[in-house]
Amino acid sequence: MKEIVVISGKGGTGKTSLSAAFATLGPAKVVADCDVDAADLYLVLRPVNTHEQRFITGQKAVINEAACTNCGLCSEYCRFDAISQKNGKTIISGISCDGCQLCERICPEEAISMVQSDRSYWFSGTFRNGLMVHARLAPGEENSGKLVNVVREQARKTAACNELETIIIDGPPGTGCPVISSLTGAGQAVIVTEPGLSAFHDLKRLLQLINNFKIKSCVIINKYDLNESITNQMTEWLKGAGIPLAGKLPFDRLMVDAMLQCKSITEYSPDSELSNEIKSIWKFINEMP
Amino acid sequence: MKIAIASGKGGTGKTFVSTNLFWVAKLAGMSVTLIDCDAEEPNVREYIEENDCCSENVFQQIPVIDTSRCTFCGKCFEYCNYNAIVFLTANRFIRIVEDLCHDCGACSYACRDGAITEKKKLLGTVNTISKDPGTNVVEACTEVGVYSPVPVIKKALAHINSHEITLLDAPPGISCPFITTVAPADYVVLVAEPTPFGLNDLILSAETLRKLEKPFGVVINKAGLGNNDTGQWLESNKIPLLLEIPFDREIARLFAEGILPVKENIIFATLFKKLLNTILTSTP
């Protein structure tokens, strides 16, 4: 089984559009949208969900005012600055609470209880070129990577059960927990960047992270013609660092037009220069030693 | 006034809006602070001339178990809500998984044998990039591989001062790092792209801000690239459209090189001055 993660460091470089293109090229595959914070891949792949499951992201402490004596012990022990006293009342901030449960355990009046955050879901289903696993993180929930783990694990199970060879993971931006969860156990990382100082900086940070995982990786410079001089700098830098450049893609409105039609670029305009280049990039990725 | 600049989707132009706003506010003679809260991938630095580089470290506490004192009672294991303690009773084996520890202190509290002490682990830095009497630019930056940026963001937010304007450049998404950043803001500017992906993520961000009861408005960036669904959605939901920034290859090229378009282009400077005024008059 081959697991390919599409990531970027900086957001908005084109991860999801390229994941959609790869997903719809060649034989049937499993696709997992691990950007649970901004899950957009379903808009293009339009899966028919056959399974839906609630996911508990964590828990929050709530206080029973009637039982609370405002002794202040909980706020003294809370390391997340989540508990304060206002107008003679003890208040727990749902935003700051990390769900560690220490306050509930130490309250001498048993005035604190824990409530589960269960408004997030994950789904699995079929799309026109295989199977898809995706999720919806409820607004404001902790994205600890746990939901990403579930999506990734389900994708692996789905691939194994259905004897599908390739899993494509549309990853989240950044370098934190959700990215780490997406990379864990993957065979290959495809990094999508664009020619800008910000994206360049983020690319270097991301490669630092990937180094810890010893995953083979390659880079795609998307919208390369928006700044050819930075594209050249990036190309030189990658050469020096020994990281293969899988290809460069021009900025093209076709990419957005395809999205507006809920199609991948390779479906919407299969014979365009852009699609041909994406096909050769896909070949490059698959043939990487 | 504290203004957060945020978006669900990455790469819509948060830093573009926050850095250009910073510059027009500074030019207008206002005192202004800009805090880059996208600690996993901070980028404000590329657009600000550095004149000060003081840096403070952000640490978390990590428990250390002294196995010569430990009685292997399992109490710390029971108290840990993050699976950060591996405990095998039969083998008298106990170990901390440092990456999973949230620094809540529950295990230290639980231990009755005095076997747990704490050591410091570096999570990131809060860097002052530029400082003048009227302006202050601060960046939150996590160490690569740190699980959550929230503690570093919180430290950076402590730099909010009495300046007339504080701009908070938020991390993408709608989860904790975003919530932490917008929490102290009086007003939130959501930056969106007029595409199906952009609209989908904008709807989620708007839902989150409504729940938090934060007043907000929307800047549509790269206008002309997608369709008009975003504009229509804003109208039917009575959400103010603060500004539309047309997609322009030349502007994209300049910004990619670390140049602020408001410095180079009069039309852009006027647009952003208007945006700042609209925001300042939008808040209660």
Query: What pLDDT score was predicted for residue B100?
Result: 87
From chain A, pick out residues whose CB is under 8 angstroms from the CB of B223. none
Query: What pLDDT score was predicted for residue B284?
Result: 64
Is A176 close to B105, i.e. CB distance below 8 A? no
Q: Report pLDDT digits (tens) over B43-58.
A: 999 999 888 779 999 9
Tokens of A172: 């989240």
Chain B interface disruption, residue of A114, A198, A205, most B CBs within 10 A? A198
Q: Report pLDDT digits (tens) over B76-108.
A: 999 999 999 999 988 999 999 998 899 999 999
CA distance A230 to A196: 6
Query: What pLDDT score was predicted for residue A139?
Result: 83
> Nearest CA of chain B to the CA of A38: how many Å?
6
Query: What pLDDT score was predicted for residue A185?
Result: 86
Report the DSSP pairing between strands B93-96 and A245-248. Answer: unpaired
CA distance B81 to B101: 9
CA distance A225 to A160: 40
User: What pTM was estimated for this model as a whole?
Assistant: 0.93
Q: Residue B90, class by beta-carbon neighbours within 10 Å (0-12 exposed, 13-18 middle, 19+ buried)? A: exposed
As beta bridge partners, residue B138 has B35, B128
Q: Which residues have a Cβ under 8 Å from the Cβ of A163 and sit 6 or more positions away? A: none
Chain A interface disruption, residue of B146, B174, B251, most A CBs within 10 A? B174
State yes or no: pLDDT of B152 exceeds 70: yes
Q: Report pLDDT digits (tens) over A169-195.
A: 999 999 988 999 999 889 999 999 999
Q: What is the ipTM of this complex?
A: 0.92
Q: Which residues have a Cβ under 8 Å from the Cβ of A153 and sit 6 or more positions away? A: none
Residue type, B57: N
Query: What pLDDT score was predicted for residue B1?
Result: 95
State yes or no: pLDDT of B282 exceeds 90: no
A 10 A CB-CB count for B36 gives 31
Is B172 close to A101, i.e. CB distance below 8 A? no
Mapped onto helix, strand or coil, the DSSP state of residue A265 is helix
Is B175 close to A38, i.e. CB distance below 8 A? no
The answer to whether the CB of A80 falls within 8 A of the CB of B179 is no
From residue A247, alpha-carbon distances to A168, A224, A244, A278, A285 in Å are: 18, 10, 9, 8, 10
CA distance A147 to B279: 36
From chain B, pick out residues whose CB is under 8 angstroms from the CB of A195. 256
Residue pointed to by tokens 């990036």: A234
Q: What is the DSSP code (8-state) at residue B118?
A: E
Whether A251 contacts chain B with CB within 8 A: yes
Q: Report pLDDT digits (tens) over B11-51.
A: 999 999 999 999 999 999 999 999 999 999 999 999 998 88
Whether B59 contacts chain A with CB within 8 A: no
Share of residues in chain B with pLDDT > 70 (%):
100
Whether B174 contacts chain A with CB within 8 A: yes
The answer to whether the CB of B44 falls within 8 A of the CB of B5 is no
| CB crowding A22-41: b at 16 or more within 10 Å, else e | bbbbeebbbbbbbbbbbbbb
Whether A171 contacts chain B with CB within 8 A: no
Low-confidence stretches of chain A (pLDDT beneath 50) = none
The answer to whether the CB of B189 falls within 8 A of the CB of B162 is no
**Pairs of CB atoms within 8 A across A/B:** 179
CA distance B214 to A56: 26
Whether B228 contacts chain A with CB within 8 A: no
The length of chain B is 284
CA distance A124 to A164: 15
**pLDDT band at residue B119, thresholds of 50, 70 and 90?**
very high
Query: What pLDDT score was predicted for residue A213?
Result: 86
From chain B, pick out residues whose CB is under 8 angstroms from the CB of A201. 41, 43, 46
Tokens of B282: 């939008």
Whether A108 contacts chain B with CB within 8 A: no
